[in-house]
Chain A
Amino acid sequence: MIKAFFALSALLLALPARALAMHISEGILPPGWALLWFALALPFVALGVRQIKVQKKVDPSYLPLLGVFGAAVFVFSCFPIPVPVAGSTAHPAGTGLSAILLGPFASCVIAFISLLLQALFLAHGGLTTLGGNTLSMGVLGSFGGFFAFYLGRSLRLSLFWCGFLAGVAADLLTYFGTSLVMALALHGDQSMFSVLGQIFLAFMPTQIPLCLLEGAVTGGILVYIRRVRPDILRRLKVIREVEA
């Protein structure tokens, strides 16, 4: 297993930098698994849509705000961050930031749309794998990031460290989810846990630095906004009046 891990690591490090933003490509998942992941991810997206509908009735400016924020998070996730270990750049997931700013359910919806647009226009991910990708990036990433942020808040950590925890948790959980979805479908004659370990560990040389970087950048963004425009964080209920 250790040899297989090193071989896979070498293989993945040899890929172009863009491949590090890992989405499961079209055609990888067999039909049964593709349908199952859709069935598991869609309730979260549906709940998100319902929540947005309710919020839109209360505040008609909510939908444009959500759409424009979603676009900004999408763009942020497309900008490369230098990864010192791999000697290249990688792309942040952005779900930690969107879950903090928009809430986890709305973030699932934003992730679903982002993945759809990425599959269509950038050939990253796919349509039959949209369920699997939404579950790992949208559901696990958003909820992981959201709960990590509030865990940090309840421990009275500074805003930077709360954002850092959210970025790290969202990134790690996204990759764990992707590895799990792939391992379940592709383990062949090997044990599923062994393949899961191989895939997850193979991504560690780049993922550990990337998740730390994403955490630092997410924390940095929150601190920058609080310094320059604290009213935005108050309106989005990220911080309380007294904290600004």
Chain B
Amino acid sequence: MMSQAHQFIDAQGESRRLLVALDGRVKFVLMLMALGLNLWGARLSVSLALLAAGFLCSLLSGVRLRSFGKRMLMPLVLAGVALLTQFFWVRDGALLAQLDLWGWELLLMEGGLHKGLLLASRILGGMGVILFFSLTTPLPELMRAARFFRCPEVLVELTLIMYRYIFLFMEEGIRIRNAQKARLGYSGWKNALRSSGVLGGMLVLRTFDRAERSFAAMRCRGYRGSLAAVAPGPMAKKDWWALGIGTLLLGLIASLGS
């Protein structure tokens, strides 16, 4: 899934669709505003509107419904768990229902239901916003924006190096795992444990050699202790418009909560 996400997001970086081609700084600021609104808005309607906005913007950006849905699956499960836990932990308001579970009385109170729904909607609203942002913004674009907002250079460089190698190691790890399976690794629990240790060890060994080779290659290409990157220039007119319209839209969503 991770590897597919990487290919998809990088391909999206080439897209000329308006929502995808927007400046990373605009998307970053709008995402932070939306996440802040999701937390501070503290209303069901606000979070659900943010979820709808994230979903619609993703579809308009060319993200497939299946791709969005697959990534929303885990937040959906967690939202369900969060909703249920609030039934156990919040006991205020009117009694809505009384259930008898294996001789144990479960009381569904209005306060618990309200808090649970709010929490579940906040999870879904927040993830909807993050997914729109992550599925339409390649990491190098996000890192350019991060540099603009004075994020430490070391952190940006490290993130880019890690991002570059995660997919490579993911494929390498899968190849080693398949080779182990072909040689009867992972057959039986004890063997699986041993195979996992060897897999991790092999990854570390290959990592070390690759790091030395990468450093030599980086030196050959002029690396002198910091990565050279194109600094983001002034924002285009369309980006200012997008920032204005996005802020307006968020203002409208915020007014739902008042």
Chain A interfacial positions (CB closer than 8 Å to B): 3-4, 7-8, 11-12, 15-16, 18-19, 25-31, 34, 49, 52-53, 56-57, 60-61, 63-72, 74-76, 78-79, 81-82, 84, 97, 101, 109-110, 113-114, 116-117, 119-124, 126-128, 186-190, 195, 198, 213, 216-221, 223-225, 228-229, 232
9 chain-A/chain-B pairs, Cβ below 8 angstroms? A27-B126, A63-B158, A64-B218, A67-B211, A71-B164, A81-B196, A120-B142, A127-B130, A128-B35
Q: Is the CB of B89 within 8 A of A74?
A: no
A206 to chain B, nearest CB (A): 14
For window 145-184 of B, CB contacts with A under 8 Å fall at 152, 154-155, 157-166, 168-170, 173, 177
Q: Please pick, from B122, B201, B206, B223, the residue contacting A220 in the complex, using a CB distance under 8 A.
A: B201
Secondary structure at the B interface, as helix, strand, loop or mixed, is: helix
Q: Is the CB of B2 within 8 A of A52?
A: no
Residues of A near B2 (CB, < 8 A) are 78, 121-122
Q: Is the CB of A213 within 8 A of B127?
A: no
- Contacts across chains A and B counted by CB atoms under 8 Å: 258
Q: Given contacts A127-B35, A224-B197, is CB(A71)–CB(B88) below 8 Å? A: no
Q: Given contacts A25-B78, A216-B197, A225-B201, is CB(A189)–CB(B130) below 8 Å? A: no
Secondary structure at the A interface, as helix, strand, loop or mixed, is: helix
Q: Given contacts A224-B198, A232-B208, is CB(A113)–CB(B155) below 8 Å? A: yes
Q: Is the CB of A221 within 8 A of B201?
A: yes
State which size class the interface on B falls in. Answer: 35 or more
Q: Is the CB of A68 within 8 A of B210?
A: yes
Q: Is the CB of A123 within 8 A of B215?
A: no
A21 to chain B, nearest CB (A): 10
Q: How far is the CA of A7 from the CA of B177 in the complex (A)?
A: 36
Interface stretch (choices B55-63, B79-87, B231-239, B246-254)? B79-87
| Interface residue B18 (Cβ < 8 Å from any Cβ of A) | no
Give the nearest-CB partner of A120 in chain B: B134
Q: Is the CB of B74 within 8 A of A71?
A: no
B92 to chain A, nearest CB (A): 6
Q: Is the CB of B193 within 8 A of A220?
A: yes
